[in-house]
Amino acid sequence: MRKLIFATLTIIFSAFILSCSSNDDNNNQAFPFQGKWSGSYSGAKDHGTFKIDVSSTGKVTGTTTSAVFNEDFDVNGNVSESGNFSAIAGNASSGATFTGQMSGNNANGTWINTSASMNGTWIGGKN
């Protein structure tokens, strides 16, 4: 009887150990666009540069620097895991909205500031 109990416990313990894994879910995988990015934007009435940081959750923060107005504007927004980018430079009522796509180490899109009747394109890359 003892041998049967020992054999049964050995089989159960072995099955338990073999079924455990250190990380089957890949929960530690980094956000694909996380890191520092920079680039430029241009349009008929304004142009300049931007520097942003994408967090591990897709939150975007940084600054744009207008060459025309010689002023910096805060950037806040988000990027999805599929690369859909959306951010506002300045404030929501009078700032510029940047939308576009990130793919690999490249990004591009358009921007519009409806209150100032300005718009254009932007392009950037991961540093």
What pLDDT digit, counting tens, does each position of 52-91 carry? Answer: 999 999 999 999 999 999 999 999 999 999 999 999 999 8
What are the tens digits of pLDDT across the range 104-113? Answer: 999 999 999 9
Measured distance between the N- and C-terminal CA atoms of the chain, rounded to whole angstroms? 68
Is the pLDDT score of 48 beyond 70?
yes
Is the pLDDT score of 22 beyond 60?
no
Q: What is the pLDDT of residue 16?
A: 44
Angle among Cα 9, 12, 17 to the nearest 5 degrees reads: 120
Is the pLDDT score of 39 beyond 60?
yes
- Amino acid 61 reads T
- Please give the average per-residue pLDDT across 93-103, as a whole number: 95
110 Cβ partners below 8 Å, 6+ apart?
98, 99, 100, 119, 120, 121, 122
49 Cβ partners below 8 Å, 6+ apart?
38, 39, 40, 41, 64, 65, 67
Q: What is the pLDDT of residue 79?
A: 98
Q: Which of 49, 64, 51 is nearest to 95 (CA)?
A: 64
Q: Which of 83, 125, 84, 85 is nearest to 75 (CA)?
A: 85
Q: Which of 100, 99, 122, 125 is nearest to 47 (CA)?
A: 122
- Amino acid 3 reads K
Which residues make beta-bridge pairs with 79?
85
